[in-house]
Structure 1
Amino acid sequence: MRHVNTFARLTASSLLGLMMTWCAQLSWAAPVPEADTGHVRAKLVASVGQVHPGEQITIGLNQRIIEHWHTYWSNPGDSGLATTIEWTLPTGASAGDIQWPIPHKFKLGPVTNYGYEREVTLLSAVTVPKDARPGSSFPLEAKVNWLVCQDTCIPQEAHLSLSLPVVAAGQPSLPGSPLIDQARAQLPVASPWKVGAQAHAHGVALRIEDAALGGAQVKDVWFYPLTWGHVAHNAEQARTTDAQGVTLQLQAGETPPQPGQALAGVLVVTQTDDQGGDVRRGYDVSVTVPPGGAPAPMATPLAAADATAPALPEEAPLGLGLALLLALLGGLVLNLMPCVFPVLSIKALAMLNHHDQTPRQARLHGLAYTLGVLASFALLAGLLVAVKAGGAQVGWGFQFQSPLFVLVVAYLMFAVGLSLSGVFTIGASVTGVGSSLADRSGYTGSFFTGVLATVVATPCTAPFMGGAIGFALTQPTPALLAVFLSLGLGLALPYLLLSSWPALQRWLPRPGLWMERVKQALAFPMYGAAAWLVWVLALQAGIDAVAAALGGMVLIAFAAWVYDSSRHSSVFARRGGLGLAAVALLVAIGGTGLAVRSFEATAGASHTLSANAAADRGWEPYSTERFEALRAKGDPVFLNFTAAWCITCLVNERVALSRPPVAEAFKAQGITYLKGDWTRQDPQISRVLDKFGRSGVPLYVYYPQGLQSKPVVLPQILTPELVVSAVKEGAPAVTSSLTP
C-alpha cells in the first residue's frame, strides 16, 4: 500500500501553494510608484501631501490612456470589464469603494460600451490608522486590473505604491495632487429633480421633471444604468421634451427591473456653455419601477464581440432537480472523456493495489477518493462565485486561461509521470501489501487522486454538462454548489461503486510483478498530458515560456533524483538531499512561474492565426465586423467557440470539423466558418457563451441562410454526419438536448 512520504508532501505543498497564489490572483511584481503598459500609464495620487492619525483622505488611481483606446466604467456596457483595485494597507487603515466619474459611451458597430478615454482618476476614501506614529510614513499598495480596448482588448494590471508622511494632529498638511479636485468635479451629484418611471411592454419610460432640461442649450440627455442588463446599452434613448421636463424611453435589457425593483444610474446632461463648448454634468438617479406592465427583454441579433445573443426557441425552464440529474450524468460521462485518460492510469493502479484489501478498507479508499473529488468541485464552485462577484464572466475550465495555472498542472503531470517511471518512489513497493494496507496515509493518497482527477477533468466538457453548469451559474450560491457537487459525485461514482461492491472486485486481475511494467507504461499518458499543456502554454505566453517550463521540468526531475538517491543514506545526507531537492523545487516552481508571468504580459492578446493562414485552413478568425457583415446579407455562418486547452474542442475539430465531408458541405452551402478563440480570457466571447446559457467551450452555432433565420445550437460532441446534416437542413431536430 502506498503512502505519501516527505518528498511527495513537499511537492504537493509547493504545487498547491502556487495554485492558491494563482487563484487569489496575487501579484508577484514589486510595487512601483508609476506603471506604463504601453497603453496606460497608471499611478496613485493623494488629496494631501501629509496625513494625520485617524484622518480620512482621498486617494486617486490616475490613468492616462493612449489615443483611440479606452478603459471601462463600473458597468462596462455590452462588453468589457470594470477596473478593479485591491488595496494593501497597514493594520487599522481602510479603503472605501471606487467613486466613478461620469462615463462616456463608445460605439463600435452594434456594440455600446461605457468608459473613459485619454485620462481618468478613480477616487477612493482611505482612513489612516488612529495609532499612526508622527514622523513615520503611511504606505499604500494597490493591485489594479483593467481592460483597455480599441478594436481589440488587452487585460492589463499594475502593482502601485504610494507613501505619505505622518504628521502630528494640528500640524498643517501639505497640499495634495490637483488631479483629485479635477476628478471630484467629474463625479455625479445628487439629482435635484423629481424623477419617476413607468414600465411598459418594451422597457421603461424615465421621466425627469425640470423645465430647464427642455431648453435649447441642452444638447443631450443620456441614462447610464448602474446594473448590467437593466437597459439595452446599444439602443437609442428616445427623448421627448415638454414644458415640465423630459422623458427618456429606455429599451429593456437582458434582465430588466421588475415592478418594485430600483432602476439606478447616472443621468448625464450635455449643455452648451456661453463660449459654445460642451459641458457634461452627471446626476445620481434611482427610481422604483411601479407595478403594471413589467418590461420584457428585447430580442436582439447576435453580435460577435458584444455578445448579445439571438432569441432562442423557447423551452421549458431547467429546474434545480433536472440540473442536478444532468450534472450527475455529465460527471459519469466525464470519466470517458480524453482529458481524464491520464488520471485513469493512477486509478487503475490504485484499484489493483487494493485488490486484497478487506471490504471496509476498499470502501474507505473509495470514500477518500470521492471526498477529494467533491472537495475540489466545491473549491472550484467557490472560486467561480468569488470571481463572478468581482464582475468577471467566467465558466467551466476558466482556470486554464491562466498560463500560470497551465504551468502548474504541466509540472504536476510531469511529476506523476516521473513517479510512475520509478525516478522517485511514492510510498512502499507494489508488493508491500499486508499490514500496511491500513496505513492512514494511503487514504490521503486516494483523496489527492480525487483532487488530481478534478484538475485534469476541467478542460473537458461532456454531454449533459453544458445545460447543468449554465443553469448553475445563474443561480444563488447554494444551488450552484449543489450542481457542482452533483457533477463531482458523477465523476467519482464508478470508482466509489467498484470499491464498495466486493463482487465486482473479484473480476480484477491478481497483483504481481507484471504491475511494475504496467505502472511504467502508464507514465507515458502523464508525459503526453504535460507535453500538451506546454503546447497550450506556448500559445498563451510565447516560445520563451516554453523554455522556462522545460527548464523547470529539468529541475523537478533533478529534485526527484536527488531526493530518491539520498533516501537510504545517512541522516546528514538525507537532510542535505531533502534541502537540495526543496531548493530545486522552489526555483522550478517559483522562478519559472515569475518568468511565465512576465512572458505573458508581452506575448500579446491572441495567438490566432493570421487571416490568410486561417483562410487556407477553411475558416476565418471571429470578429464583430465580419459576422455582422455576413448576417446583414443573410449569408449562412457557422460559429465555433474553442480553446487550445479544451480537449473536447480539439477532438471535435479533428474528427468532425476538419473532415473533407464537412468542408465540402460548407463550400456547397456557401457557409462562412468563423472560429472564436477562448484560450485566453476574452470577455466578449464570455458574454456570447453566457447568452447561450453555456459556461464554457465548446459552443457550435449555425445560422442558416436568410435574414430571419434562427440559430441552431449543435451538441458538444460532434460527428461529420451530424454537422453535415445540420448545415444542409438547418433543422432544429439535430440540436442537442443541451440546447439552452
Structure 2
Amino acid sequence: MFLLVCACVSGVAQAASSTPVTSEHDVATLVTDQESVSPGHPLGVGLRLQLQPGWHTYWLNPGDAGEAPTLKVTASGGASGESGPIAWPTPVRISEGGLMSYAYLGDTLLPAIVTPRASGAGPVELKAHAEWLVCAQVCVPEQGDFTLTLPQGAGDASPEAGLFHKAASARPLPSPFAAAVSSDGVLSLSGAGISGASVKDAWFMPQDSAAIDQVASQPVSISGHTVSLKLAWAKGYHPGAPLSGIMVLKDAAGNESPLWVTAKFGTAGASAGAVAPGFLRMLGFAFLGGLILNLMPCVFPVLAMKALALARMGGEGRAARLSSAAGYGLGVIATFVALGAGLLVLRAVGSGLGWGFQFQSPVFVLLVCWLVFLMALNLLGVFEVTTGSIGQDVAPRSGFVGDVLTGVLAVVVATPCTAPFMGVAIAGALAGPAWAAIVVFAGLGVGLAFPYLVLAGVPALARAMPRPGAWMAVLRQALAFPLLLTCVWLAWVMAQQAGPNGVLVALCGAVLLGGGAWAFGASQAAAMRDGPSGRWRGAAAAFVLAVIGVSVVGMPRLGAVAAATPSDGTQAFSESALAAARASGRPVFVDMTASWCITCMVNERVALDSVPVRAAFARGQVAYLKGDWTNRNETIGAFLRAHGRDGVPFYIYYPPHGEGQVLPQILTPSLVVQALGGAR
C-alpha cells in the first residue's frame, strides 16, 4: 500500500534558497542560480531534492511505474513571469521486479528558466508549486509550496549556481549523428565519430513510455561508423512515428555521453518521401473505421437526412444520383481533411488536442445544438431552405451545394464517436508525416461516404429504391424526432460542461431561434400568397443571427464545470492514483470517457454499469479509475497519446502483475468479465 504523505509548507526565504519542505524521505528546496533578479535576463530556478539513501524520484518518462515531477514558478512584484519546462538531466536506470524506472538519486536539481519582465522597482517574489513522487519499497506522493524573495540587481551568481552547472552538464546533448529506427525495432546512430574503439556499450531511454518494452535487454552491435540497439516494441504499440529519447554511449574508460536523438522511422538512408511500413495498414484501418462510423449512434441524425435524400433519388436519373453522391462525398472527405490539417497545426504549436476536441468547447456544442434544432424545424415544415432568389419558387430544392453541406454536417456530428479501428488510425496518422496524416483522414472520409456512393452508383440498387410519393412528407416529419433527441443529448453535454446556466442559454436560444424560424417560414408563405417579402425575410434572418451572436459572446463567461465526482467505488484518474493502485498490488481498470462521447455512454449503460461487471470488479477488488475528458484535460490527453490513442473511449486493464491489456472500443459485459478473469 502507498503511504500517502502530503507536505505543504510555505515560507519566505533569504538568499537564493527557500525554506525547505522536509519529510522522512527527502528535503525539497526552491533554489536560484542568482542572488538578485535582472528583469529581461534569464533566471535559473529549480527544485532541489535531497533524497535519503535508497529513495529515488523520476524523469520525464518515469518508466513502467511512477510519475514525473512537476514544477511551476511564478514571479511577481518588481518583475513578473512564469517558468518554462523542466530541463531534465539524464536519469539512471533502475530495473527491479520486472519493471524499469528512469530515476534520480541523492542530491538532484530539476532546473527551469524564468525570464521576468520589469513591473516595478521593488523586490521580486517567486512562488512555486511542485509535485513529485519518491519511491523505495513503497512510493510516496509529495508536494510543496515555496516562496523566495530576491532583490533586483545585476544578477550575481548565488551559492547554488554550482548545482545548476552540474545539472546542465548532466543534460543530454543534441545528437550530431544520423538516427533511424526500423520496423523490427533496430535503432541506429551513424556518424564519423562512432567506431568500435570509441563506443563499447550503449542503451536507450525513450521519451514515450508506451513505445518499447523498457525492461527488455537492448543488444548492442557496432559496425563501421554505426552503433545499433535491438529494441523490443511494447505490446499494443504501432511503430511508424519518429522515436525520441536519450541514447547513452559508453566508452572503454567508462565515460558516458548522453545524446538526445529523434530517430526517423525506416532504414538508415531511406528517402524522406518513402512510405513507412504500416502506412497501408493505417489507411485500411481508416477506411474500415469510417465505414463502421455509419452504424454509430452519433451519425443517426445525418442518416435521417441521407435516408430522405435516398428516397428522393428513387425517381431521379443516373446523372442526378451521381451528382448527389459526389457532393456528399466531397463534403465528407474535405471536412475530414480539414479536421486532420487543423489537428496537425494545433499539434505543431504544442497543443495536446485529440479526436473530438471541438466538442470540448461549450460554444461549439451550443452552436451544433441550435443547428440540429433548426434542421428539425425544417423537416417539420416550419420553414423551407431554398436555392431560389426572392420572388422565385420557395419550394425546397436539393442541389450539389446542399449535398456538400450534408457531408460537412455528417462529419461534424460524427466526431463525438470513435468507431473500431479509428483510434489506431488517427493516432498513427497524427504521429507520422503530415502528408500521410492527410491521406489517412481522407481515408476516414471515403469510408464514411462509401455506402452512399455505392447506393447512388450501382444501377441495380438505385432501381430497388421506392418511388417518391406522398409517403415522403410523412417520412420527412418523422425523421425530425431523432434530431430533437440529439438536441436533448447536446443540452445534457452542455450541463456537464457549463452547468445550469449553459443549459439555460441553450434552451432560451432555441426558443428564440424557433421564433425566428417561424417568422421566416411565415414570410415564405406570404411570398407565395402575396409576392416577394424580402423585408420580413431579412428581419427574420437578422433576428436569428443576433440571437446567435449575443449568446456566443455570453458563453465564455460561463465557467467550466469541474468533472463530476466519481461514485460507487470509482476513483478519478490521475497518474499518481494509477501508480499507487499498481504499487499496492491491486488490479486496475482505467476508463477514459467523455459526456459528449455517445459510444462511451452506451458502453457504460450496457457493460460497465451492468450487474455482472460490477460483481466482477468487487470480486477481484479491482481499482476503477475514470478519466473524464468532457472538458480538456492534459493529463488524460497525455495518457491517451502514450497508449497510441487520440480519442475516447479507451479502456485498459492492468492485472496485479504484468502488462496492461487494451480492451476494444465497443464493450459487452461478457467481454469485460472475461478480460478481468483472463488477465489475472
Q: Output the TM-score relative to the length of structure 2.
A: 0.65
Shift of 1:444: 0.6
Greater relative contact order (Cα < 8 A, sep 6+): 1
CA distance in 1: counterparts of 2:156 and 2:670, whole angstroms: 57
Contact 1:369 1:492 in 2 (8 A): yes
Q: What is aligned with 1:710?
A: 659
Match of 1:723 among 640, 650, 672: 672
2:88 paired with 1:117: no
Secondary structure (helix, strand or coil) at the match of 1:725 reads helix
Match of 2:440 among 454, 464, 483: 483
2:591 paired with 1:640: yes
Shift of 1:719: 0.6
Q: What is aligned with 2:582?
A: 631
Q: What is aligned with 2:181?
A: none
Q: What is aligned with 2:282?
A: 323
Measured at CA, do residues 558 and 725 of structure 1 come closer, stay the same or move farther in structure 2, by a change above 3 Å?
A: same
Match of 1:464 among 410, 418, 421: 421
Contact 2:47 2:110 in 1 (8 A): no
Contact 1:407 1:537 in 2 (8 A): yes
Secondary structure (helix, strand or coil) at the match of 2:526 reads coil
Map 1:185-584 to 2 at 5 A.
222=110, 271-272=158-159, 287-289=173-175, 291=194, 295-297=203-205, 312-313=234-235, 317=239, 319-427=278-386, 442-569=399-526, 574-584=533-543
Shift of 1:111: 3.7
CA distance in 2: counterparts of 1:100 and 1:562, whole angstroms: 62
Measured at CA, do residues 493 and 103 of structure 1 come closer, stay the same or move farther in structure 2, by a change above 3 Å?
A: farther
Shift of 1:579: 2.8
Contact 2:44 2:113 in 1 (8 A): no
Q: What is aligned with 1:179?
A: 79
Structure 1: runs of 5+ lacking an equivalent = 1-66, 69-97, 122-177, 189-195, 206-218, 227-232, 237-267, 303-309, 430-435, 732-740
CA distance in 2: counterparts of 1:187 and 1:405, whole angstroms: 31
Measured at CA, do residues 223 and 499 of structure 1 come closer, stay the same or move farther in structure 2, by a change above 3 Å?
A: same
Contact 2:383 2:520 in 1 (8 A): yes
Structure 2: runs of 5+ lacking an equivalent = 1-18, 21-39, 50-56, 59-65, 115-130, 135-154, 177-193, 211-231, 241-277, 389-394
CA distance in 1: counterparts of 2:339 and 2:584, whole angstroms: 43
CA distance in 2: counterparts of 1:540 and 1:187, whole angstroms: 29
Shift of 1:382: 1.4
CA distance in 2: counterparts of 1:559 and 1:576, whole angstroms: 14
Shift of 1:723: 0.3
Task: State the one-letter code of the partner of 1:415.
Answer: L
Deviations 1:345-380 (A, max 9, x none): 000101111222211121111011000001111110
Q: What is aligned with 2:180?
A: none
CA distance in 1: counterparts of 2:209 and 2:446, whole angstroms: 38
Deviations 1:593-616 (A, max 9, x none): 12221113xx44x2312x5xx12x
Contact 2:67 2:579 in 1 (8 A): no
Measured at CA, do residues 357 and 623 of structure 1 come closer, stay the same or move farther in structure 2, by a change above 3 Å?
A: same
Shift of 1:478: 0.6
Shift of 1:623: 3.1
Deviations 1:390-425 (A, max 9, x none): 211111111101111111111111111010111111
2:563 paired with 1:607: yes
Shift of 1:572: 9.7
Deviations 1:326-363 (A, max 9, x none): 10011000000111111100001011112222111211
Measured at CA, do residues 106 and 401 of structure 1 come closer, stay the same or move farther in structure 2, by a change above 3 Å?
A: farther
Task: State the one-letter code of the partner of 1:646.
Answer: C
Contact 1:201 1:296 in 2 (8 A): no
Contact 1:416 1:526 in 2 (8 A): yes
Farther off after superposition, 317-326 or 394-403: 317-326
Number of equivalences: 493
Task: State the one-letter code of the partner of 2:204.
Answer: A
Secondary structure (helix, strand or coil) at the match of 1:542 reads helix
Contact 2:208 2:642 in 1 (8 A): no
Q: CA RMSD in A?
A: 4.1
CA distance in 1: counterparts of 2:422 and 2:209, whole angstroms: 26
Contact 1:699 1:716 in 2 (8 A): yes
Task: State the one-letter code of the partner of 1:117.
Answer: V
Farther off after superposition, 315-324 or 537-546: 315-324
Contact 1:100 1:187 in 2 (8 A): no
Shift of 1:468: 0.8
Shift of 1:428: 8.6
Q: What is aligned with 1:656?
A: 607
Map 1:653-692 to 2 at 5 A.
653-692=604-643
Measured at CA, do residues 421 and 294 of structure 1 come closer, stay the same or move farther in structure 2, by a change above 3 Å?
A: farther
Measured at CA, do residues 314 and 554 of structure 1 come closer, stay the same or move farther in structure 2, by a change above 3 Å?
A: closer
Contact 2:333 2:445 in 1 (8 A): yes
CA distance in 1: counterparts of 2:670 and 2:42, whole angstroms: 53
Secondary structure (helix, strand or coil) at the match of 2:205 reads coil
Shift of 1:270: 8.6
Contact 1:327 1:469 in 2 (8 A): yes
Measured at CA, do residues 280 and 562 of structure 1 come closer, stay the same or move farther in structure 2, by a change above 3 Å?
A: same
Secondary structure (helix, strand or coil) at the match of 1:297 reads strand
Contact 2:90 2:172 in 1 (8 A): no
